Structure 1
């Protein structure tokens, strides 16, 4: 996205990039930047391939969620199905793949809501927000080493957990917010079969 002339006083210019760590999943870099008011600074960040998050809606209105252990937090986290994009993979294809792998569900209709940047201060990660309905159950095939508990919960149950501080996953909180705004007719979801 190019900067509008009105933003010129905020824009930093990348001068140099140094690779700090290149793992199987993460690529950590340090940039030296020219500041808009003069001078230089460094910015460290993670390059991420992008991801999707799916809000699966059952015919009775309940939502499919999962619980899984997240090692960096050392705890089990409640979240909507999600996963990273494979190289060259579209968001829709990734959403279909992740929903089927993690939950076993397949959807007749897909809705694209938008994109979120969950940590723009230190990551290039963008997460596409997808909705799925017309769900058909099937067998889940999680990745090796991925252990999930799949549940169906009402929007109110999920909302109560968020309000009580039990739901802390940022993408799931945004997914819940988008669902509530969409159901209220305030935010769009672009549906297709």
Structure 2
């Protein structure tokens, strides 16, 4: 069995409004010592919502992504607020970003991005049995909602406006989830 390295010291090296950079001094089981840097995990986690309409469309949003300095097509997502669980946060974010609530939520998977450098994780949540409902959020502008037939997933993945790896992975997982759900009801 693999033995985790011993953490010798954690030092905060930089902090901004959104990010906290840490330097981690480690000792591995073979005695080797190394220093790593990471964007530390802050807050209570995040959710990415895969809203599925009754006719099998996925609801996407178009939002400005400052990291790529452009608008991108993606799934609704956001932070889990203090006191919320992932389903409460998913329903709230869906209402804020897409104007829908959900009567049926299912957690698919917790996903990480670049885990060698970041402690951030997002929980993928399927939202079904949707109903119109809008809450005011913290977004600077209303987001465009785009319906996309899930059976045309390959065309969506090929679309140059749809590039977020976590969203792509979530849609392939939800496709499998819905297929299993459908076979149980047959």
TM range, normalised to the smaller chain? 0.7 to 0.9
Is the 1:159–1:176 contact (alpha carbons within 8 Å) kept by the matching residues of 2?
A: no
Report the equivalent of 2:67: 72
Structure 1 unaligned runs (5+)? 1-5, 187-193
The alignment covers a number of residue pairs equal to 179
Distance, in Å, in 2 between the alignment partners of 1:72 and 1:170 is 14
Distance, in Å, in 2 between the alignment partners of 1:64 and 1:154 is 9
**Cα 1:166/1:103, change in 2 over 3 Å:** closer
Distance, in Å, in 2 between the alignment partners of 1:34 and 1:147 is 48
TM-score of the superposed pair, with normalisation by structure 1 = 0.84
Report the equivalent of 2:126: 131
The correspondence for 1:44, drawn from 29, 37, 47, is 37
Give the C-alpha shift of residue 121 in structure 1. 0.9
| RMSD (CA atoms) | 1.9
Report the equivalent of 2:184: none
Distance, in Å, in 1 between the alignment partners of 2:47 and 2:22 is 23
TM-score of the superposed pair, with normalisation by structure 2 = 0.87
Q: Bigger shift: 151-160 or 54-63?
A: 151-160
Q: Structure 1, residues 81-120: CA drift from partner, whole Å, max 9, x if none? A: 1011223431111111111111110111111112111221
Distance, in Å, in 2 between the alignment partners of 1:94 and 1:52 is 7
Structure 2 unaligned runs (5+)? 182-186
The correspondence for 1:152, drawn from 144, 147, 167, is 147
Output aligned runs, 1:44-193, within 5 Å.
44-48=37-41, 49=43, 50-139=45-134, 141-163=136-158, 166-185=161-180
